[in-house]
Amino acid sequence: MNKFMHLFFIACMALLPHGLFAEVGTIANLLGKIHLKDASGVLTPLKKGDKVDVGSIVVSEAGAYGQIKFIDKGEMIIRPNTEIKINAYSFDKLDAKKDNVEIELVKGGLRRLTGLVGKRGNLEADKTKTPTATVGIRGTVFEALTCNNDCSDIGLANGEYFSTKTGQIAVDNGAGEVVIGAGQFAKVETTITAPGKFESKGKPKALDKDPGMPPFNPPKNLAPEASGCAA
């Protein structure tokens, strides 16, 4: 009976949509404590070489950085005290129509180097979500940082901050959209509506100077000179 159930399980897995449980990225480097968080909030330590897939929630502790390299040659570095979720990551080398990436920044900050998804004909195929906005990618290296009563140590008011190193991003919160290019900055004003809950206030705004986003200086082994994610 056990053997029958085992074979039945394998057969069912074969019928599931391609990539549902597929590994989509690898922990390329890390410093400090990085964890995988399950649906009940239980944390499992991650180490270099561990795999992440669609649905993975990755959390960094204070002082910790982590670098993930993805199957389409994209990269991401997460800052300390950050939580991200991989909502979608579909990449088929032979079929660009299947391209679909959605990274969710729950809190904290990240730097992303976009990969091949979004560069093969569908500019809308790669998105990064924050608590109040969606970042459309135009082939780029960009940073996003959320501040919700947790950025007083770096002197930033509540809000969501964005900067672009190369290429362009479009920041849309439903009330409006702003496009920023290399060396430019944007902000979405937010207001706290309840403990742990907040919403955007007005349209995203391009800023005429750096609002004071902290330097993105992960250890060099997390941002090698050959990497587009380098500081």
149 or 3, higher pLDDT: 149
* Secondary structure of residue 177 in the 3-state scheme: strand
Is residue 11 pLDDT above 90, yes or no?
no
Domain boundaries, given as residue ranges, for the chain: 2-222
CB contact at 8 A, 67 and 218:
yes
Is residue 223 pLDDT above 70, yes or no?
no
Is residue 194 pLDDT above 70, yes or no?
yes
Class of domain 2-222: mainly beta
**pTM exceeding the 0.75 threshold for the entire prediction:** yes
What is the residue-averaged pLDDT of the chain? 87
Q: What is the pLDDT of residues 161-189, one digit of tens each?
A: 999 999 999 999 999 999 999 999 999 99
- Helices and strands, number each (H, E), in the chain: 1, 20
Q: What is the mean pLDDT of residues 106-132?
A: 92
Give the pLDDT of residue 8: 43
CA distance 158 to 145: 10
